[in-house]
Amino acid sequence: MGHVNNSVYLRWVQDAVVDYWQSVAPKEAVARHLWVAMKHEITYLKPSFLQDVVVADVVAEKVEGARAFFTTVVKRGEEVVSEIRSCWCCLDATSLRPVRLARDIAARFVGD
């Protein structure tokens, strides 16, 4: 049908969440942690196409242990085309095992 599929939306969300993390977390925390998507729930409101210019706005809802929950709203101009709720797991960049964020980092992360 010509519109983007789930994989494109998930790439947009992944890029937006990682950019969000890198913009609010200290450089040391960014270097020590990786994020892996655990769950995405996409609500499609309007079709979107590859040639569309879209913007993804990310809101960190909460952090629980090694998990973080986000809502990402994808817009084409002022028009909302989709809303994505996602859950991510924080990993230690060296061991690749789940790790809790320090409280001060989590507060900064969600407190944006």
- Bridge partner residues of 62 (DSSP): 69
What is the average per-residue pLDDT within 32-38?
95
Report the mean per-residue pLDDT for the chain. Answer: 92
Q: 99 versus 3: which is more confidently predicted?
A: 99
Decide: helix, strand or coil at residue 74.
strand
Map out the domains of the chain as residue ranges: 6-110
Instruction: Say how far apart CA 83 and CA 44 lie, in whole Å.
Output: 7
Nearest Cα residue to 100 out of 31, 39, 29, 17: 29
Query: 57-72 pLDDT, tens per residue?
Result: 999 999 999 999 999 9
Domain spanning 6-110, CATH architecture: Roll (3.10)
pLDDT at 111: 57
Q: Is the pLDDT of residue 112 over 70?
A: no
